[in-house]
Amino acid sequence: MVTRRTPPYQSGLTFFGLTPDYRTSLFRQIHEIVFYGNGGYDWHTIYNMPIWIRNLTFNLINNHYQHQNTDTRAEDSWLKGEAKQAAQERKKVNPPSYVTKASKK
């Protein structure tokens, strides 16, 4: 009778490979670099890129778009503030309360 010993590792995987969660995050990261890189990168280049450079590239693109989004929000709120101010100024103008008609001579 042969008894099986439990392996010394806790992972449960008996081979080396990527977990499904890691694969999903890897392919999502590659997609976002290619998509938001505005044509500067192709899929194969990013896939074969060293991990640390790929992470750096992803973080730089992410920071760029976050900064751009913050600037856009600040500009939108400024424009909304100006629109409110213009609307308040329009309310301050009082139209004349009399009406005149031209005579028909």
Q: What is the pLDDT of residues 34-91, one digit of tens each?
A: 998 888 888 999 999 999 999 999 999 999 988 888 877 777 776 666 666 766 666 6
Domain spans in the chain, listed from the N-terminal domain onward: 20-78
Encoded tokens for 3: 């008894």
| Of the listed ranges 8-12, 30-34, 38-42, the one predicted with least confidence | 8-12
The three-state secondary structure class of 1 is coil
Residue 33: burial class (beta carbons within 10 Å; 0-12, 13-18, 19+)? buried
In the structure encoding, which two tokens stand for residue 50, read together? 């060293």
With a CB cutoff of 8 Å and minimum separation 6, the contacts of 32 are 58, 61, 62
More confident residue, 31 or 20: 31
